[in-house]
A and B are shown apart, each in its own frame.
Chain A
Amino acid sequence: SQKIEQNSEALNIQEGKTATLTCNYTNYSPAYLQWYRQDPGRGPVFLLLIRENEKEKRKERLKVTFDTTLKQSLFHITASQPADSATYLCALDYNTNAGKSTFGDGTTLTVKP
């Protein structure tokens, strides 16, 4: 079965730096890859979606890359702020799964002032 690995459970960085989160997968590449933000006690919030034929997607301070050769997606937050502190989840979707996403366990990001 598909396995998703997100880099270390916790990532601590200084305010103003760029945070880089990793999502690695095994086996075959997904049709889509999504990133979500989750705050304690809340449901995940959709951030970005990138398709297998796209190399990069941007939204304000967020950037996602998708490398099907490395079987990896990188999620960058530039000019990070303490308000960016949260858990970030990646999710993989396959055309054959009719919308049934497989989620990673998440990486908890802490941005220190």
Chain B
Amino acid sequence: DAGITQSPRHKVTETGTPVTLRCHQTENHRYMYWYRQDPGHGLRLIHYSYGVKDTDKGEVSDGYSVSRSKTEDFLLTLESATSSQTSVYFCAISDEANYGYTFGSGTRLTVV
């Protein structure tokens, strides 16, 4: 998707290992979000950021941490991956709160 890229696109990791997913934007948008999408649960907010070094928890933040040291990058870290964190992770950006998001293409993470 134009202006927002996620890496990696796919990852398989072992239980107990740390994992970092990266979201990079070229739109200079203030707000960045991490969602996970699972069958039967839809999209659920993990963490979000409203500026450099300003982050807050979402609905399902346990087991996840985030960092935003630059406007363009928002990192999601699974400190010790568990099988329940197998999911598709989406990053999203917006230039105003509550004004429509632009989503990345997603990262499919499998924890074995």
Give the segment of A10-18, A39-47, A59-67, A73-81 that binds chain B. Answer: A39-47
For B56, list chain A residues within 8 Å (CB). Answer: 98
Task: Type the 1/0 row for A36-60, where 1 means its CB is closer than 8 Å to any CB of B.
Answer: 0000011111100100000000000
Q: B interface vs A, CB < 8 Å? A: 1, 31, 33, 35, 40-45, 48, 50, 56, 58-59, 90, 92, 94, 96-106
Apart from A43-B106, A99-B50, A100-B48, 20 more pairs, CB < 8 Å = A31-B98, A42-B105, A43-B92, A43-B105, A44-B90, A89-B42, A89-B43, A95-B98, A98-B50, A98-B56, A98-B97, A99-B48, A99-B94, A100-B33, A100-B45, A101-B45, A102-B45, A103-B44, A104-B42, A105-B40
For A104, list chain B residues within 8 Å (CB). Answer: 42
Measured CB to CB, the nearest residue on chain A to B31 is A99
Measured CB to CB, the nearest residue on chain A to B43 is A103
Given known contacts A32-B98, A95-B98, A98-B97, A103 and B103 CB-to-CB distance under 8 angstroms: no
For B98, list chain A residues within 8 Å (CB). Answer: 31-32, 93, 95, 99, 101
**Complex Cα gap A48–B35 (Å):** 20
